[in-house]
Structure 1
Amino acid sequence: MNPLAKKYQQIDEKIVLFNEEYYLGVAKIDISALTLEIREALFNHLYDFDSKDMELEIDVSEEDKGNWYLQLLVPHVLTLPEAAKRRIEQGTEQLVQHLSEKTSDLNHVRLIGDEIYDYVKRYNPDLERIA
């Protein structure tokens, strides 16, 4: 067992518990059709997103491929899996509403199952799955 390995536990198809720190869901946004100016405005708009239900992190590491990833996070401390699912779903609804204020035709999808694992593993090569 690698002491530096991060822990990964699947809660359901859309949510995982990452390193016993955060419940995590991931959305992928297709930004390939957006101009640089619109991308910048969208990033700032996303950065301004505020929710009592979840935290949002923006990952632009694949911007050159036309993708951004949104990490939907709920702290693990004092949160049961069912409550985390509910909070991520409510936060996602708030995020969709927030995005609709800026753009109505933004294509986004939630990662599911092994897509989430592959995404998390990119940043954590020693990822350890927990049953």
Structure 2
Amino acid sequence: MDLVTKKYQPIDSEMILFNEEYYLSVVRVDISTLAASDREALFTHLYEFESNDIELEIDVSAEHQGTWYFQLLVPHVLTLPDVARKRLERGREQLEAHSAKQPHKPAEVKLVGDDIYEYVKRYNPNLQIVG
């Protein structure tokens, strides 16, 4: 079986370039204290989030462990790392403002360094570190 190899390029401790497609930053969200109805309301609210700076993907694969992951993405095409970093910062601010409108604000932790690598590797076992 030939597994597809994806490229992983660290840019700084909080941002990577994934497969030369997206700059990626990941936030771990603790939803363990939220009731199912509150989780649903939060997900629906976050799903409505729009930004010109970032794309938000909500990974609920670890929900059974009381954790969601937010993938904050900036397309790589014609975007330099410094510009991507600024867009991620603005996007985080926009996401925080959007989340403030929701009554439930779960604790968030930005993944850094090896934690980002381990998160990305879960879905991409043939991950190749470049750069």
**TM-score above 0.5:** yes
In 2, the alpha carbon distance for the partners of 1:116 and 1:105 equals 22
TM-score, structure 2 normalization: 0.96
Matches within 5 A, 1:25-44: 25-44=25-44
The Cα of 1:78 is off from its aligned counterpart by 0.4
Q: Is the 8 A contact 2:3 2:126 kept in 1?
A: no
Give the AA of the match of 2:4: L
Percent sequence identity over matched residues? 57
The Cα of 1:66 is off from its aligned counterpart by 0.2
Pairing 1:23–2:9 present:
no
- Report SS of the residue matched to 1:83: helix
The Cα of 1:106 is off from its aligned counterpart by 1.8
Give the AA of the match of 1:59: D
- Report SS of the residue matched to 1:70: strand
- Report SS of the residue matched to 1:50: coil
- Report SS of the residue matched to 1:7: strand
The Cα of 1:104 is off from its aligned counterpart by 5.5
The Cα of 1:3 is off from its aligned counterpart by 7.8
- Report SS of the residue matched to 2:79: coil
Query: Where does structure 1 lack aligned partners over 5 or more consecutive residues?
Result: none
Query: Where does structure 2 lack aligned partners over 5 or more consecutive residues?
Result: none
In 1, the alpha carbon distance for the partners of 2:3 and 2:123 equals 16
1:92 paired residue number? 92
- Report SS of the residue matched to 1:79: coil
Count of aligned pairs: 130
